[in-house]
Structure 1
Amino acid sequence: MDMKGMEHAVEVETLTVAYDAKPVLWDVNLKVPKGTLMAVVGPNGAGKTTLIKAMLGLLTPVTGAICFSGGKGDGHALKNRIGYVPQSGSVDWDFPATVQDVVLMGCYGKLGWFRRPRKADYELTAQMLKKVGMEQYASRQISQLSGGQQQRVFLARALAQEAEIYFMDEPFKGVDAQTEKAIVLLLKELKEQGKTVMVVHHDLQTVADYFDWVTLINLRVIASGPVEEVFHEENLKMAYRSTGALLRSVV
């Protein structure tokens, strides 16, 4: 596909991130076209979550720059335009908050932390909970939910931000089949609305069904582009190296 003239939601330039002087990402260059539903795939330890966090400004790179829709900046400076769903394992589920409280937090970027939520914010919260099938759990503590239900709540919080760009870190991990189906429908709805969605994903068998773009990564970007063009055996072997048996099951 000709990338010339294509408008990009995010551009990553020569990004290097290291932990304790050990590079986790090395000289990453990546362009995420507007309105795409992109999977980020690669083996464990490839730097997928690190890439998302660096793009959000949650990690400080050694070198490189992140450009959002033509303006330099990070996730903090652009918080009103960016929605983020972290890995479920990174969330303190014992925090004393109800489902409604968590989703209402998605409105704070527009509302401000020191202003009381308005009627419209509560209405938006209820609307987003209904969208993910969790409206009947609004008053329940988040610690009392199943893993799939918790993931739905964090999706609702991201949707309440009414963002332009969404980053999701393994939203399908540990969820039941019904929740996975609901998430896929939401992702495709966001794409239809012209939103840009970047998802760290681990299931190679569903990439072609769920996404239209894919980035294969293993310390560096192996390939990035439309699924039908770059999601093939040669690139997968480069990304996963010695996992030939796995690749033959999905290619």
Structure 2
Amino acid sequence: MDFKSQNYAVEVEDLTVAYNAKPVLWDIDLKIPKGKLMAVIGPNGAGKTTLIKAMLGLLTPVSGAVRFINGEDVRSLKNHIGYVPQSGSVDWDFPATVLDVVLMGTYGKLGWIRRTRKADMELARQTLKKVGMEEYASRQISQLSGGQQQRVFLARTLAQAAEIYFMDEPFKGVDAQTEKAIVLLLKELKEQGKTVVVVHHDLQTVEDYFDWVTLINIRVVASGTVNEVFHEENLKKTYRSTGTLLRSVV
């Protein structure tokens, strides 16, 4: 697969998603350029997580299409797409060690019935080292703090060696040190030419962390470079708010 032949990593066209006949996303058109570190922001209930899941094929839309590089769908590119779900959606009581969890990131290449290779074990340990969790390799995942668990899931995703990464609020519930470590990794992925899409809630850090932003509230309000679209007018449209709070973040 040649990931350098198109300008866009993801194209969403006329996407509508509904729960119990109530639209959660409506007529979404969105193009995500390759090699961007993009925040998806909007109020609670705006459809941010739904958008991520629809792009990943985890939800069936009422209408519309999602195309990846070279017009491929998510099934064709599953080994090239990494996903970090919200920490609250993960069963942390699952009996697995930290190293086991990270090795799961290599299963797309290995297949479920093939034995783990030495190279994959080394890759898993390297990714744990990147997130500062190497010394916890033999620890049960359930014994870790929330921030540590989030680092492990990030390591698992890095072990996939994907081209496009989706992360659903990776900073939620983590300490300042973990947040800083995650930001450095996201920027490193961008420097490698990867595309990273992050559901994000902290407006104060958008300009520091990201270079591209999509503002949504059931519909797309604006999408583009942070310098171009992350301003008070678009934030008012997105949050339907007075400028009182917004003046403190833009």
Residues 1:176 and 1:58: Cα distance change in structure 2 (over 3 Å): same
2:16 is paired with a residue whose SS is strand
Q: 1:149 maps to what in 2? A: 148
Deviates more, 1:177-186 or 1:77-86: 77-86
Q: Tell me, yes or no, if structure 1 residue 40 matches structure 2 residue 22.
A: no
Asked if 1 retains the 8 angstrom alpha-carbon contact of 2:82 and 2:164, the reply is: yes
- How many pairs align? 246
How does 1:49-64 map onto structure 2 within 5 Å? Answer: 49-64=49-64
Residues 1:145 and 1:8: Cα distance change in structure 2 (over 3 Å): same
Q: How many angstroms does 1:243 deviate by?
A: 5.2
Give identity over the alignment, percent: 83
Q: Distance in 1 between matches of 2:182 and 2:44?
A: 23
Q: Distance in 1 between matches of 2:72 and 2:53?
A: 16
Amino acid at match of 1:163: A
1:70 is paired with a residue whose SS is helix
Q: How many angstroms does 1:77 deviate by?
A: 3.1
Asked if 1 retains the 8 angstrom alpha-carbon contact of 2:215 and 2:221, the reply is: yes
Q: How many angstroms does 1:245 deviate by?
A: 2.5
Q: 2:129 maps to what in 1? A: 130
Report the TM-score, using the length of structure 2 for normalisation: 0.97
Report the TM-score, using the length of structure 1 for normalisation: 0.96
Q: How many angstroms does 1:244 deviate by?
A: 3.2
Q: How many angstroms does 1:6 deviate by?
A: 7.4
- Unmatched 5+ stretches in structure 1: none
Q: How many angstroms does 1:195 deviate by?
A: 0.2
Q: Distance in 2 between matches of 1:129 and 1:234?
A: 41
Q: 1:216 maps to what in 2? A: 215
How does 1:1-251 map onto structure 2 within 5 Å? Answer: 7-74=7-74, 76-242=75-241, 244-251=243-250
The two structures, once aligned, show a CA RMSD in angstroms of: 1.1
2:15 is paired with a residue whose SS is strand
Asked if 1 retains the 8 angstrom alpha-carbon contact of 2:232 and 2:243, the reply is: no
Q: Distance in 1 between matches of 2:29 and 2:72?
A: 15
